[in-house]
Structure 1
């Protein structure tokens, strides 16, 4: 039952991604009324090191919030909440930035999520085979925070000795706005090896891996108080933060989520707009346990919920209560998705020539999608998928996050020739899109067939790649699951706003909030006619993995 809510009730959702900060003004129906984006700075001082600045990010957040609320009576804005990448923020005394960089620049006090410097530290942690690792697919990822903290201790002692607080970026934003030192259950259970089953930090685990320092003073460096997503924090915005954000002091602040998890929250309540004759399908699509949410941006995260825990090697989780209470989250992912397609397309010899002839509002992926349709028509193919019959890709150019969890895997391409025209670019782009979709099928098969998870009934898409019809349809066809694209495209921002709505008790529980603000979406059904073709290509996809392992075996004894 949806509670009666005044029409002039608004929420602000803030999303800090890899390259920018965004804010949106969102109404009670989950519609983004106004949004603003501002770039944030990233340093890449050496290979695999990616660093950012908490001060730079906060300034960008304040700019965006001021912009989206400039024409709105601040009394109507009931709450604000944050989501962000799972990046490590390090602060010294009085909350001042502490360097995480070999450059010793104090401004560079964030280790970005995609930073891969902590490979040795992750391996050391995984070698312990600690029981907590079963909740991260059997091994911790070097993208998580505990390996990064261990790297700091081993490599930057002058920083380590001065740490006052270490935050996940979304928790930092909550602290910066309220002055209250809390952590989101989402952040700590998904990225910090927090024991959600017992709702506590494991001193035994931290001591075993050499981070006993974090146990001091009741774990104050990494957070004594852990809140569920959507819980209200303190007394809301402090006077200082309210002035910086141009909002009213005391405006309610909801406990944060990681950015991809905010997108999942936004989409879990979304329903497909169906014909009245599709009652059976409609009922199936309402089953929360059957939904796979794909948050598709620089990377792709695959989120799904179950009532009972599902232990799966190579897939993170089950994380208890990480998004919704009484549900366990499993999280798969691809470390490089949108960034991989950009890498392939921008590196082709035809990229500059195509860009030069595009209209002001025309995107190169739209151009390539249209070119693929033309090519298929000329070759009398009933579907563009057949164009890549002899071109195959293994897409892990930045390692595999799921379901193999091997950061050392690399990309492979089979079927290259010496063509360098526009059509060769279109084919290569399509092969990479299909490879990413095969990667999603690989995750699904791992969970459902090997680990007996509840079968999926649908996929939901948000993020930049969700706007690419070829990408979404390829997933529907390759995974043989209907795909839902929300009518509201900015579901990460909506999910962030939902946290504030929940904190303000607008609709009651967070699950009720998701349903009330999730809206509807367009349904793309899988094509049965291409099923055999995709099954064959999926067999090639799997064989490429085995081939890569053989190559490594042949070469492993060489210097």
Structure 2
């Protein structure tokens, strides 16, 4: 019997990755390729859809070559990507989103914060569509970016014929099918699947924010048709896309997901062998921890949480309500606070000489400091506190204007000081996660288990600290990359067509390792979490004092 294989493609913040997996989710080949980012001025982050698709073509061909799987045995492909916005004009040509008019730069990235004034206008409307984003729209979503484009780049607005979320652009590029993925339009574009007055685009909302022209021609510029995750897109790969990817025309293509949501899909089918009783799926939180961190839970019930995005029906798992919290800066915050420290150059050199990542070296340094002082490593930051929202707060506060805070600095700038700053940052990120979890549970969610995927799952201090702070077991899936696995599941679902996506998840999810919390530091973290919340109150107080 001929074996079947599936491809998952992930377009992250700074790279494109592809993998080939078999029917049980085992990785058979993978590849990655960096992509370009332009940061012309503060808060502006732009990319090129041409550069991104070139990366997709390269990585798919390389992954297939490494896997030694014949194209005829590859039955499906799925895409995920960051929730960035792609702008195309006549004949689907790139249209500039850059102030300098560079046509190549036609993607406004998810982390672009140029639309601060526009998001304030949207939130001031208190429109009903805000009910599905915790009451406050983020400037990382697409409506404020669309407003900014219309206001500041009139020629771009006039010439634009299609606005895609990046995952949907990839699906269109692969198939020529203009339908949009439910995940993208519901989570980032204000499309409604459950609220009044009806399912679909809320024309009154677009009228209120002066984007009524997007509703013309049956909303053709932003998507007339919407499909659930994994639904087969038309006849599959087009001849042109198949040639560019090195695959066969007609290969099934599944409706796409946002990258974090693909990570949730890849994790929730994982069954760790060292955990006797696996809780129901709706009691499992998934942390997709990379440049930023997303916290996703899929519930059987509609349970809104102020400050947390959702609930979104069937945006990830069919007939389940997805909620999404998040931290705008996580891995990028750790990179920033460490690389900007005077001792980092020496630390990086020493780590490189031993073949280690700088964070691995710092983890070792923390252990040595703790052993020397005869304390648990967590206690090293007793007098060192940090508020992590250097790039604003996504959830549960929903304030893009919040800033970072550090308490406990001295005139010393040694390697040990860097280690403490690094540890305090990890703890602060864990307290931010606890803040989100606390709000979820306060409003009716129950969380018994936490899955972790993304780049930060490789950081032992990050993982153990989160387990200790949350007081819950953390699961690290065996899958090499659950985000890519989730994308491949979309391709498998498209090929199988009538099978349940949940069945696909369970068949391909694999096993995992369970990390148990250390309850000996629970009281310490309780105290530091109280300080953490007090820092937020103080920042509000200082802001009010300066009015």
Cα contact 2:230–2:494 (8 A) shared by 1: yes
Tell me which residue corresponds to 2:327. 334
**Unaligned stretches of 5+ in structure 2?**
none
Deviating 4+ runs (over 6 angstroms): none
Tell me which residue corresponds to 1:3. none
TM superposition shift of 1:50: 0.5
Tell me which residue corresponds to 2:299. 306
Tell me which residue corresponds to 1:147. 144
Tell me which residue corresponds to 2:125. 128
The match for 1:291 among 281, 284, 290 is: 284
Tell me which residue corresponds to 1:361. 355
Query: After the TM superposition, which of the residue ranges 501-510 and 346-355 deviates more from structure 2?
Result: 501-510
Tell me which residue corresponds to 1:9. 4
The alignment partner of 1:504 has SS state of helix
Tell me which residue corresponds to 1:261. 261
The match for 1:103 among 97, 100, 105 is: 100
TM superposition shift of 1:481: 0.8
The alignment partner of 1:186 has SS state of helix
TM superposition shift of 1:507: 8.5
In 2, the alpha carbon distance for the partners of 1:256 and 1:544 equals: 39
Tell me which residue corresponds to 1:423. 416
TM superposition shift of 1:418: 1.5
Alignment of 1:139-288 (within 5 A): 139-197=136-194, 198-274=198-274, 279=276, 282=277, 285-288=278-281
- 1:129-149 deviations in whole A, cap 9, x for unaligned? 011101001011100011101
Cα contact 2:279–2:449 (8 A) shared by 1: no
Q: 1:516 aligned to 2:507? A: yes
In 1, the alpha carbon distance for the partners of 2:305 and 2:453 equals: 25
Cα contact 1:10–1:76 (8 A) shared by 2: yes
Q: 1:482 aligned to 2:476? A: no
- 1:470-505 deviations in whole A, cap 9, x for unaligned? 101111110111100011231100000000011111
- 1:194-229 deviations in whole A, cap 9, x for unaligned? 011143111111111111001111000000010000
Tell me which residue corresponds to 2:460. 469
- 1:346-375 deviations in whole A, cap 9, x for unaligned? 111111112222236311111111111111
Tell me which residue corresponds to 1:321. 314
Q: 1:403 aligned to 2:396? A: yes
The alignment partner of 2:368 has SS state of helix
Tell me which residue corresponds to 2:521. 530
Normalising by structure 2, we get a TM-score of 0.97
Cα contact 1:260–1:301 (8 A) shared by 2: yes
In 2, the alpha carbon distance for the partners of 1:544 and 1:177 equals: 48
The alignment partner of 1:141 has SS state of coil
Aligned residues: 541
Tell me which residue corresponds to 1:378. 372
**Unaligned stretches of 5+ in structure 1?**
1-5
In 2, the alpha carbon distance for the partners of 1:213 and 1:32 equals: 45
RMSD: 1.1
In 2, the alpha carbon distance for the partners of 1:199 and 1:240 equals: 34
- 1:137-180 deviations in whole A, cap 9, x for unaligned? 10111000111011111111101111111000000000001011
